[in-house]
Structure 1
Amino acid sequence: MTEDVKAQKFSTLFRWFDQNGDGRLTHDDLQNMAEMFAGLAREDDKENATAMRNAFETWWQLLLTHGDADGNGQISRQEFITVMEANVTHPQHFEAAVLAIVDALMRALAADKDGVLSLQEYVRMYDALGIPPEHSEPAFRRLDRDGDGSLSHAEFRAAITEFYLSPDPKAPGNWLLGPFA
């Protein structure tokens, strides 16, 4: 592997956030991601949609404050990797910037109030977020640790945490955004 595991995952995350592909993250990019996530909530679920938007804003402020080395209001891929490793994934920030999105998303998606995501719900969610089913279906199978055919809030939270924090190249959470080599 040419770059360490976390840097590889953060590069994948950067490409996903950089929806226009210009090689820079801006406030607009993070707001667009926030709207994609908030769009998964029911129309009357303002609380969870707002929580996701607020968490993405927190994330942007962390990126800008700790990662914009040249002060241009944009985050390069290398700046992103550096700030993700040093600041966003730091315990002081991780809950408010990343896990707050996960928690609001799970509350919003639990439309049937069972508190779990089925394979179909998971694939539909990631499809709406721009991750194709050919990636999300195998990811779901890896993340369903107890093999019951659904992802509990705890399993999903564990997968997200693994994606962001684990240096293990074999960690199931690495597959959240597609194949991990």
Structure 2
Amino acid sequence: MTEDVKAQKFSTLFRWFDQNGDGLLTHDDLQGMAELFAGLARAGDKENASAMRNAFETWWQLLLAHGDSDGSGQISRQEFITVMETNVTDPRHFEEAVLAIADALMRALDTDGSGMLSQAEYVRMYDALGIPPVHSEAAFRLLDQDGDGALSHAEFRSAITEFYLSADPKAAGNWLLGPIDQAT
């Protein structure tokens, strides 16, 4: 890889978040992602849909406060990478900005209360979020650490944490959005 592993993952994330593809993140882009995620909650599941929206708003406020170096109300790819590395992934913010989304998403999708996501549920979720099934199917196999055919809440959280925090190019969590050099 030509870029630092984390920078490459954050570039992938930036492209995924950049809803209109203009190369800049705005409040509208993050709200669009929040609505995509909130839309995965069952009808009437206002608690988890609201938790996801609130977490994306927290994330946007962190981006704006720590990454908008020119005060434009827009975040460039480089500003995003920098603020992700220095602020969003800081333990003081990571839980409320990133893991809060993962936790609400898991609660929303775990309709039977088993604490698990099947491969079909996982693939459907990421397909609805714009990740091609070929990528999410491969990711699921890597992320299912115990090989039981399901992702537990702990495995899902672990994958998300690895995606955001690991600099290891071989970390399974790197596949969360598909191969980092091809995803989104």
Using structure 1 for the length normalisation, give the TM-score: 0.99
Instruction: Give the Cα separation in 2 of the matches to 1:168 and 1:84.
Output: 17
User: Structure 1: how far apart are the matches of 2:23 and 2:46?
Assistant: 32
Partner of 1:137: 137
Gaps of 5+ in 1: none
- Contact 2:12 / 2:180 at 8 angstroms: preserved in 1? no
What is the identity, as a one-letter code, of the residue corresponding to 1:125?
M
Alignment of structure 1 residues 3-82 onto 2, 5 Å: 3-82=3-82
Name the counterpart of 1:92: 92
Deviation at 1:47, TM superposition (A): 0.3
Q: CA deviation digits over 1:44-103, x for unaligned, max 9?
A: 100000000000000000000000001100000000000000000000000000000000
Q: Secondary structure at the match of 1:105?
A: helix
Give the deviation of 1:112 after TM superposition.
1.5
Query: What displacement does 1:180 show?
Result: 3.1
Aligned to 2:124: 124
Structure 1 CA distance for aligned equivalents of residues 37 and 170 of structure 2: 27
Q: CA deviation at 1:37?
A: 0.2
Give the corresponding residue for 2:104.
Answer: 104
Shift of 1:19: 1.7
Indicate the percent of aligned positions where both proteins have the same amino acid. 83
> What RMSD over aligned residues (CA atoms) do the two structures have, in Å?
0.6
**CA distances 1:136-173 after superposition (whole Å, capped 9, x unpaired):** 00000000000000000000000000000000000000
Q: Distance in 2 between matches of 1:158 and 1:179?
A: 17
Find the counterpart in structure 1 of residue 165 from structure 2: 165
Counterpart of 1:36, as a letter, is L
Q: List structure 1 runs of 4+ shifted beyond 4 angstroms.
A: none
User: Does 2:118 align with 1:152?
Assistant: no
Aligned-residue offset at 1:15:
0.2
- Structure 1: how far apart are the matches of 2:33 and 2:68? 19
User: For the Cα contact (< 8 Å) 2:55–2:100, is it kept in 1?
Assistant: yes
